[in-house]
């Protein structure tokens, strides 16, 4: 993977790469917020970031913001018909 122009920060988090992070910079949808909050586990952020097409850093920042706003549990409890 390193040969594909993939770079990592000092915490071994993959830096932005357009092939792996196509949703980076786009606003989160309600469904994405719900998915993120339901599946967020600190040790598995790398997998979640790739699933969502965003960087690990942006995933962590967004979770922290949702928690700060008191919205994390709200999104975590959401249920959609296609689940």
Domain map (residue ranges) of the chain: 2-76
pLDDT for 81: 75
What number of helices (H) and strands (E) belong to the chain? Answer: 4, 0
Residue written as token pair 């920060």: 9
What predicted TM-score, i.e. pTM, was given to this entire model? 0.87
d(CA 23, CA 25): 6
| 3 state DSSP class of 9 | coil
The tens digit of pLDDT for each residue in 32-79 reads: 999 999 999 888 999 999 999 999 999 999 999 999 999 999 999 998
pLDDT for 45: 94
Q: Are 28 and 36 in contact (CB under 8 A)?
A: yes
pLDDT for 1: 43
The size of the chain, in residues, is 83
pLDDT for 61: 97
């Amino acid at each position: 993977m390193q040969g594909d122009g993939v770079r990592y920060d000092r915490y071994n988090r993959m830096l932005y790469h357009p092939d792996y992070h196509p949703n980076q910079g786009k606003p989160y949808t309600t469904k994405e917020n719900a998915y993120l909050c339901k599946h967020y586990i600190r040790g598995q952020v790398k997998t979640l970031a790739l699933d969502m097409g965003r960087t690990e850093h942006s995933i962590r920042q967004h979770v922290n913001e949702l928690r700060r706003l008191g919205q994390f549990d709200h999104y975590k409890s959401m249920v959609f018909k296609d689940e």
